[in-house]
Amino acid sequence: IMKAVGETFIEVADYARWAAQQGFPSQSEDEFQLWPSASNYHYFALGFSRATAPDQLFDFSQAGATLKTAAEFAFGSLEIQWSEDLKTWSRVPAEAMASGRSAITYLDSLTDPPIVKMDRAKRYLRIIRVDTP
């Protein structure tokens, strides 16, 4: 029988530290330096770096639209939204998700990435930031 005693501490990077590692200004959350399809904050929240950032944040397949992630948990809060006309947006409801949730909050698990069912989806998807750094 083994008994473990002690504590573990995991330091979670904030946006300013992540930005410095990528060579960006600390107040660059709303800038589009990695790809024009999403802001720097979106890539940070999903665990991407300059070297790993994809040009698009969704993969489309028969399973649905999968939000790409690069970390085990979220570093920021995001929301997946949909629209039919690019004017009126709303959060994707739970029943339209094949897996995961459309509301991603700080430190939520990303081991099973969110997938939007495309048979129920509207025509357009986006992710938005729902908190401030």
pLDDT of 9 reads 64
- φ, ψ dihedrals at 125, nearest 5°: -125, 150
Residue 2: band (very low, low, confident or very high) from pLDDT cuts 50, 70, 90: low
Bridge partners of residue 63, in order along the sequence? none
Share of the chain above pLDDT 90, in %: 74
pLDDT of 1 reads 66
pLDDT of 43 reads 95
pLDDT of 133 reads 47
Whether 7 is in a domain gets the answer: no
Whether 88 is in a domain gets the answer: yes
d(CA 63, CA 99): 10
pLDDT of 68 reads 96
Whether 10 is in a domain gets the answer: no
Whether 9 is in a domain gets the answer: no
Residue 55: band (very low, low, confident or very high) from pLDDT cuts 50, 70, 90: very high
Whether 1 is in a domain gets the answer: no
Tell me how many domains the chain contains: 1
pLDDT of 123 reads 82
Whether 8 is in a domain gets the answer: no
95: domain range? 15-129
Whether 2 is in a domain gets the answer: no
Give the global pTM.
Answer: 0.84
pLDDT of 19 reads 93
